[in-house]
Amino acid sequence: MRVLGVDPGLTRCGVGVVEGVAGRPLTMLGVGVVRTPADAELGHRLVAVEQGIEQWLDEHQPEFVAVERVFSQHNVRTVMGTAQASAVAMLCAARRGIPVALHTPSEVKAAVTGSGRADKAQVGAMVTRLLRLSAPPKPADAADALALAICHIWRAPAQNRLQQAVALHTAKAPSKGRLA
């Protein structure tokens, strides 16, 4: 499975591609950051994020895109920028028919470090170890994107089995027909 992880942001949008399957060693295929100038007009920044993500999709041809689920913060401007960059990433994937999965920060931290409350340094250290890298990816947005991809690779099989079980149960459940 090849996954493009996206840590959305307007100034720095982390991107990372990981390939592998759960239970086997994973391989990093690429990592980086799509940057936009903070003083640029919002529309131009969103176009720059789109162009950057499109380049990553062209180059790496992922089967899935994993995006960090936007959560409420105290800074509304930060949340809006993150949500807008997230929407751009989802749009780019949807345009190509690539499935998108959203993972919360705590899900990603728990998957990679074992603790949903891990800090950036712990996530970076575990990403480095899991992907057998010589140093943690910089900036932290890049490491977070790799962590998202790893989380999806590890969680997707279980999520798929759960969805199949629910679908099977729903199909077998007696229908509640009309009473005569």
Instruction: Indicate which residue of 19, 68, 119, 144 is catalytic.
Output: 68
Is 119 a known ligand-binding residue?
no
Is 58 a known ligand-binding residue?
no
pLDDT of residue 170: 78
- The closest alpha carbon to 32, from 8, 49, 15, belongs to 15
pLDDT digit string, tens, across residues 39-91? 999 999 999 999 999 999 999 999 999 999 987 767 788 889 999 999 999 99
pLDDT of residue 102: 96
Domains of the chain as residue ranges with CATH? 2-172 (3.30.420.10)
Cα separation, 36 vs 49, in Å, equals: 7
Q: Is 141 a catalytic residue?
A: yes
- Going by C-beta distance under 8 Å and a sequence separation of 6 or more, which residues neighbour residue 38? 10, 11
Give the confidence band of 158 by pLDDT, cuts at 50, 70, 90.
Answer: confident
- Spell out the alpha helix ranges (H) of the chain: 42-60, 76-95, 105-113, 120-130, 140-172
pLDDT of residue 165: 72
Residue-level length of the chain: 180
Is 39 a known ligand-binding residue?
no
Give the confidence band of 173 by pLDDT, cuts at 50, 70, 90.
Answer: low
